[in-house]
Amino acid sequence: MKKTATLLVSCPDKKGIVSSISSFLLTHNANILHANQHLDTENNLFLMRLEWDVTDFQLCEKEFQQHFQSIASQYGMTWKLRSSQIKTKLAIMVSKYDHCLADLLYKHKNGELNCEISVVISNHKDTEALVGFYEIPFHHIELNQSNKQEAEQEQFTLFKKFDVDLIILARYMQILSPKFIEKYPQQIINIHHSFLPAFVGAKPYHRAYERGVKLIGATSHYVTQELDGGPIIEQDIARVSHRDQVDDLVRRGKDLERIVLSRAVRWHIENRVLLYKNKTVIFN
Q: What structural domains does the chain harbor?
A: 4-83 (3.30.70.260), 88-282 (3.40.50.170)
Is 56 designated active site? no
- Tell me the pLDDT tens digit for each residue of 229-251: 999 999 999 999 999 999 999 99
Cβ-based neighbours of 30, under 8 Å, separated by 6 or more? 5, 52, 53, 54, 56, 57
pTM over 0.85: yes
**pLDDT over 80 (residue 104):** yes
pLDDT at 71 over 90: yes
* Residue 1 pLDDT greater than 80, yes or no: no
Burial of 29 (0-12, 13-18, 19+ CB in 10 A): middle
Binned at pLDDT 50, 70 and 90, residue 145 comes out as confident
Where are any strands of DSSP class E within the chain?
4-12, 31-40, 45-53, 78-83, 88-94, 115-122, 138-140, 166-169, 188-192, 215-222, 232-239, 273-276, 279-282
Region 67-75 average pLDDT: 96
Q: Is the pLDDT of residue 284 over 90?
A: no
Share of the chain above pLDDT 70, in %: 100
**24, pLDDT greater than 80:** yes
Q: Which of 228, 236, 247, 248 is catalytic?
A: 228
Mean pLDDT of 80-92: 95
pLDDT of residue 2: 82
For residue 116, name the pLDDT band (cuts at 50, 70, 90). very high
pLDDT in tens, 118-134: 999 999 999 999 999 99
Contact 183, 156 (CB under 8 A): yes
pLDDT of residue 121: 98
The chain-wide mean pLDDT, for the chain, equals 96
Return the percentage of the chain with pLDDT > 90, whole number: 97
Query: What's the pLDDT tens digit per position in 176-214?
Result: 999 999 999 999 999 999 999 999 999 999 999 999 999
